[in-house]
Amino acid sequence: MPVALATLLVALAVGCPALVLYSYAGYPLVLRLLSALHASLARHRAAPGGGVGDAQLPCVAVVIAAYNEEQHIADRIRNLLQQDYPVDRLRVYVGSDGSRDRTAELLRAVRDPNVQAVEFVQNRGKASVLNDLVARTSEPLLVFSDANTRFAPDALRRLVARFADADVGCVAGELRLLSSGGDNQDGMYWRIEQMLKLHESRIGATLGANGAIYAIRRELWQPLAADTICDDFCVAMGVAARGHRSLYEPTAVAEEDVPASIGAEYGRRVRIGIGNFQALVRHPEYLLRTSFATRFAYLSHKVLRWLAPHLLLLGLAASAALALFGPSAGRPFWAGVAAAEAAALLLAGGLYLLSERLARSAARLPGVLAIPAFLFALNFAFLVASWRYATGSYSGSWRRTAR
């Protein structure tokens, strides 16, 4: 084997797994250090949520696109109308996207003057519904949410309070995932993600938002491409790319129920994964026109995570090539590395299959074993998503799931 090729393979065999390890373990440590350093230098203090008087509160439009949400839509509207927010400054815009159940019927029954319900007969996708609903608004602040989400009573006040800073263009709230079967690994992973969001916000690097609870200034809204999948991520990152600050407000709380099974969320993860690759390819401005802190976090937290399964497989292939065709002195070492990597992947995949079998009988893996099973499911979904995006086979990706 030529020396140059062997050197390249060694770089891939070492570098690819190292990048994955950095994204999942190294980046959180570096981020915590940067956050602590920023706090000590800037004496960062979170803005007090809920402390704004009614006379200073702006008019707010809550925008929701719903598809086959008959189980949630009535409670969702009731939840919003019970917010601790002046009734004359709150308006709800909700659209049924060609729902095939009783969603549109239930919306037609709403008589509250602060709720504008729109029935779209044809199912066109969430992005198109959001575009049409936002076009009907005139309020200076837009709050986006989902039909199956519940806001804490003071959630709107706490979101709005952060817009007292004129530089702030987007505020993301905190979504808490609840499971009737107890905590699941998606919930555990989500709590880690929330911790990362908190520290990213402190260094000025908030990445996107969660569609369950976030707000932007209406003047910063840009219509979405009709086939956009991760609308929440693109809307919030678009705000950052236009030079405005995005913040994470953990006291603005929303809740959603999630299934206890790891595999029950697989379809949703694939859909979001397709949207991730779609955003990466379509929006180079997220890397070219955002702040240095945002670019650093975007690469470390998002891009490397999306590419993690590809990096792991590339590293395994490089190790196997070195074991078979590399310099003879190093072949036993690389054979051991390749065998260990392959065994780890097979073990994680086996644990995932076992977790799905146990879920059918209402049993669960112990936490220490459920974590690799969850990570396998997550990365396998990213791998499938990248293939579907590359081949263009993602028509109708915005479908109703268990969550």
CATH code for position 308? 3.90.550.10
Query: Does any domain span residue 306?
Result: yes
Q: Which residue has the higher pLDDT, 259 or 194?
A: 194
Q: Label residues 47-74 b or e (16+ Cβ within 10 Å = b).
A: bebeebeeeebeebbbbbbbbbbbebbb
Tokens at 242, concatenated: 């236009």
pLDDT for res 361: 81
Q: pLDDT tier at 47 (50, 70, 90 boundaries)?
A: very low
Range of the domain at 235: 8-403
In a domain, 304, yes or no: yes
Question: The tokens of 91 are what?
Answer: 């308006």
**Is 1 part of any domain?**
no
Let me know if residue 3 belongs to a domain: no
Residue with the bigger pLDDT between 106 and 367: it is: 106
315 occurs within a structural domain: yes
In a domain, 383, yes or no: yes
Is the C-alpha dihedral spanning 154, 156, 158, 160 positive or negative?
negative
Phi, psi of 3 (to 5 degrees): -60, -40
- pLDDT of 50 reads 44
Token output for 8:
């390249």
Q: How many domains does the chain have?
A: 1
Percent of the chain whose predicted confidence (pLDDT) is above 70: 90
Cα(127)–Cα(125) distance, integer angstroms: 6
- 54-109: pLDDT as tens digits: 778 999 999 999 999 999 999 999 999 999 999 999 999 999 999 999 999 999 99
Mean pLDDT to the nearest integer, 116-139? 96
Per DSSP, helices labelled H in 85-181 are 103-108, 126-136, 155-161
Residue 247 lies in a domain: yes
Domain presence at residue 2: no
CA nearest to 348, candidates 369, 320, 333 = 369
Q: Are 300 and 27 in contact (CB under 8 A)?
A: yes
**Residues 81 and 177 sit within 8 Å (Cβ to Cβ):** no
pTM: 0.87
